[in-house]
Structure 1
Amino acid sequence: MELRHLRYFIAVAETGSLTEAAEQRLFTSQPSLSRQIRDLEDQVGTRLFERSARGVDLTPAGKAFMEHAKIALNQVDAAVEAARRAATPSKQRFALGFLTGQEMNWLPGAMHILRDELLNVDVTVSSDYSTELAEGVARGKLDLAFMRAEPDFDLAYYIVDKEPLVVLMPSDHALTERAEIAPQDLVGEPFIAMAGKAKVLRSVVDDYLERSGVHIVPSQSVDNPAMVMSLVASTRGLVLIPSYVQNLMPWSVVSRPLAGDAPTIDLAVGYSKSNQSPTLRLFLSRLDELIARHAAERRMNVNNT
């Protein structure tokens, strides 16, 4: 079994189509890809896919194989990245990732921790979806990321904040007259649900609505904070979102807190347990300091409003 077999298998599994995987992900022919998949199934000793009206679906054996195939490829990518770093030891690199928008809250404190290391370390910063950050950490592209605790990745997580959810709505919506919004107030309103790559947030929102005895059929689904703002303004929909997104609000969108015991979503730093970077160890050793600094800044901001 070769690594290409695993890459081909994952591409087909994620697209659900031999043709789409061949043409758009792997840039090969569909017959050639089909042969590679058959070879893989022969080596595994069982069928990994079954055809359906929509394309191809994973068999139970395929689903079990998928989990381990991803881990194996992530470990290979991490090994390659570690080798490249070892080959150029003159100046270390420390790659930080942030859930889009969170860099406003956490980057200054993170750089404060690293200030004594900056002469010897090149710090890079990027922002992305939480799942993309988790994959970057798993593959060794990122040393540490501020993100959700994604359950599908074998990473270590340290909770740094519990963010309350708030309601976003158009700035001229009738509910803006209320200081707080009850979950029952959402009934009958166009509701924008989180979906796709924002599945951790979607789970928190769904659990909250279920506990509140509120049943809502979303009118739209989205996983991008910028698109959330656009849909709130254009469709006059409401959405439950972590409070940090208030940093990104245009004038046409406002927020209100939820009444009562508002749900929260964890913000964590995620890192690979096998990462031996001394800069990572330093950063982790001072996480409590970073959390305290962030809490103090938040209290100061509240007192000044």
Structure 2
Amino acid sequence: MTYAFPPGGLPDQTVHPDGTAVFTDSYAVLPAVTQRDIVTSLLPDWKDTRAWILARPMSGFAETFAQYAVEIAPGGGSDAPEPNQGAQAILFVAEGSATLTIEGKEYALTVGSYAYVAPGDFWTLWNDGEGLFKCHWIRKVYESAKGIARPQSFVTSDRDVPPTPMPDCDGVWATTRFVDPSDLRHDCHVNIVTFQPGGRIPFAETHVMEHGLYVLQGTADYLLNTDWVGVGPGDFMWLRAFCPQACIATGDTPFRYLLYKDVNRHVAL
């Protein structure tokens, strides 16, 4: 299995700048072609690392999470990756290998690895391999709830978690759930959603959850509010609450994306 990641580099001077990038009141689309070297950031307390910051909390838009794509050169990494001790981290590996340490326990991350780092846990991440290490990183400040313990850190893999078919769809739509949906310790889910060619969301989902959707594989026509947008590997969609959404998978390979959503908490009044 291969997983998309920002291409970096820079288009040559023959390329016309017209494209499909869009920012609206209800959604944004950052196509892979926009994820170039000139929009990366260096991060404090990280060595030989650059990041594409794809989403950040914005008042009046999506307010609960930040989403990065992080590229670490051999020998690079961090002993202090997260500046906010109240934040939880979800890492998903697109390419390469690295060593993740959580509370002194080491984990070997490889392509397809998924790591959840609980708020308050001390963690480090270093690329001790020979090639670039590339991962997706979702950050969210944890929202505690009375009488519910905070979740525990864990590491698993896309290979080790079987997709769960969605009801009434003959298996063409499935979700890889790395966290049990009934586990109220978690205030967000980061899943992988898979559609077989021709599979679809057969209604316009309209709900309170915010989304970050990074296309890992395949192509689809995606409904965002009132607009149908063609998306493919490396494209990122950023949705505020209540933005209508649906999709129809196109092409001859599965359409897969990494999906963030906030769940399991009361709305602050």
TM range (shorter): under 0.3
Could you say which structure has the higher strand fraction? 2
Question: Given the two structures, how large is their TM-score scaled by the length of structure 1?
Answer: 0.20
Could you say which structure has the higher helix fraction? 1
Question: Given the two structures, how large is their TM-score scaled by the length of structure 2?
Answer: 0.22
